[in-house]
Amino acid sequence: MPKRGYHHGNLRQALVDASLTLTETKGPTGFTLSEAAKQAGVTPAAVYRHFEGREDLIAEAARQGYEIFADLMEYAYETGQPSSLASFEATGRAYLAFARRYPGHYVAMFESGISINRTPELAQVANRASSVLEKAAAKLSEHIAPDKRPPPQMFSAHIWAMSHGVVELFARGGPGTKSPFSPEDLLESGIGIYLRGLGLIDRDG
């Protein structure tokens, strides 16, 4: 029987929470299911009632992370309305904020090697998150002449890549990644340069 009086429903979540803690400290491949069980205060056998293996456990942590991420991105987008520029910039900042506030989820989502297509549920919520940035890019692109307008998927992918790079190199405290500028300033200036190149921000502004 599970220890600490866990019921069937919250035992599954307790295991996910344990995996997030271990992912933060040891990385997504640095712990075993037995360690996750110990962290959750249950027997190793209890894990297999809910997950077939460590990858399934991490995939569920990633799915939950994408749920939080998508909600945060949607909130950021709405706070920028009715300005399409403010909404777009807010979604970029939301990426950085998410990585800092939810490091375990972030690693499970982006550094575990788990494919977003592992389960239909994971794919659905991951696509919901990316669609927010694509929507922001599409709205902002309406201010660009059609013959000079990049596809929204490319536009959003560029900003996603820039945000991800800033997070990986400068926002997570890794060795050899110090910068005289804050991650927020790096991201904001990078997005600004990109948008100026598309003519969406006044070069003198």
pLDDT, one tens digit per residue, over 142-176 is 888 888 888 988 988 998 899 888 888 887 665 45
| Tokens matching residue 167 | 């997070």
The verdict on whether omega for the bond into residue 82 sits within 30 degrees of 0, i.e. cis, is yes
pLDDT, one tens digit per residue, over 93-105 is 898 899 989 999 9
- pLDDT value of residue 147: 85
Question: Against a cut of 0.75, is the pTM above it?
Answer: yes
Distances, alpha carbon 51 to alpha carbons 19, 23, 33, 88, 101, in Å: 12, 16, 9, 38, 26
User: Where residue 182 falls among pLDDT bands split at 50, 70, 90?
Assistant: confident
pLDDT, one tens digit per residue, over 55-80 is 999 999 999 999 999 999 999 999 98
The verdict on whether omega for the bond into residue 150 sits within 30 degrees of 0, i.e. cis, is no
Q: Which residue, chain included where needed, has tokens 């297999």?
A: 48
Domains and CATH numbers, the chain: 1-51 (1.10.10), 55-197 (1.10.357.10)
Residue 1, pLDDT > 90, answer no
- pLDDT value of residue 173: 62
